[in-house]
């Protein structure tokens, strides 16, 4: 079992001794606050920023979580500019979109959905 807490912390269950995984923020204007990292560290930063202002819109971009989009886009630009391998080939892209759509449907239905291996096999064979 896997749980992601707001892109700053992953928890794994069912595998004894598997530690939680922490991720740095993409932008951190309060490095001295929430030094423990993870979700509790992010929330400490959020509350510290809110203590300075009650205008939520003013702090929305203060501490930015890293969802990985910037690194992938930079990888695509690098692949185009320097003729290097793409960070995501067609098969991986197809699988990612299929799984993302399935995840969205699962959230809408509020239930787990099976991942059809027949949907993944064509992408895995080539």
CA 99, CA 113: separation in Å to the nearest integer? 10
DSSP symbol at 61: T
What are the tens digits of pLDDT across the range 43-76? 999 898 888 877 777 766 677 888 888 888 999 9
Please, which pLDDT band fits residue 15 given cuts at 50, 70 and 90? confident
Tokens, residue 67:
């969802």
What are the tens digits of pLDDT across the range 30-43? 999 999 999 999 99
Distances (CA, A) of 96 to 2, 35, 90: 17, 32, 10
Q: What is the pTM of this model?
A: 0.64
DSSP symbol at 90: H
What are the tens digits of pLDDT across the range 74-98? 999 999 999 999 998 888 888 889 9
The whole-number pLDDT of residue 89 equals 84
Q: Is the pLDDT of residue 101 over 80?
A: yes
The whole-number pLDDT of residue 68 equals 84
CA 93, CA 96: separation in Å to the nearest integer? 5
* Residue among 20, 41, 27 nearest 70 (CA): 27
Q: Is the pLDDT of residue 125 over 60?
A: no
CA 1, CA 21: separation in Å to the nearest integer? 14
């Amino acid at each position: 079992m896997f749980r992601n807490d707001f892109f700053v912390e992953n928890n794994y269950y069912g595998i004894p001794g598997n530690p939680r995984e922490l991720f740095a923020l993409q932008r951190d204007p309060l490095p001295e606050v929430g030094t423990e990292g993870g979700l509790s560290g992010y929330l400490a930063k959020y509350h510290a920023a809110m203590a300075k202002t009650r205008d939520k819109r003013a702090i929305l971009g203060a501490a930015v979580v890293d969802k990985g989009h910037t690194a992938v886009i930079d990888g695509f630009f690098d692949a185009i500019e320097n003729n290097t391998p793409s960070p995501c080939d067609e098969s991986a892209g197809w699988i990612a979109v299929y799984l993302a759509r399935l995840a969205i449907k699962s959230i809408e239905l509020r239930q787990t959905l099976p991942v059809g291996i027949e949907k993944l096999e064509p992408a895995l064979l080539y």
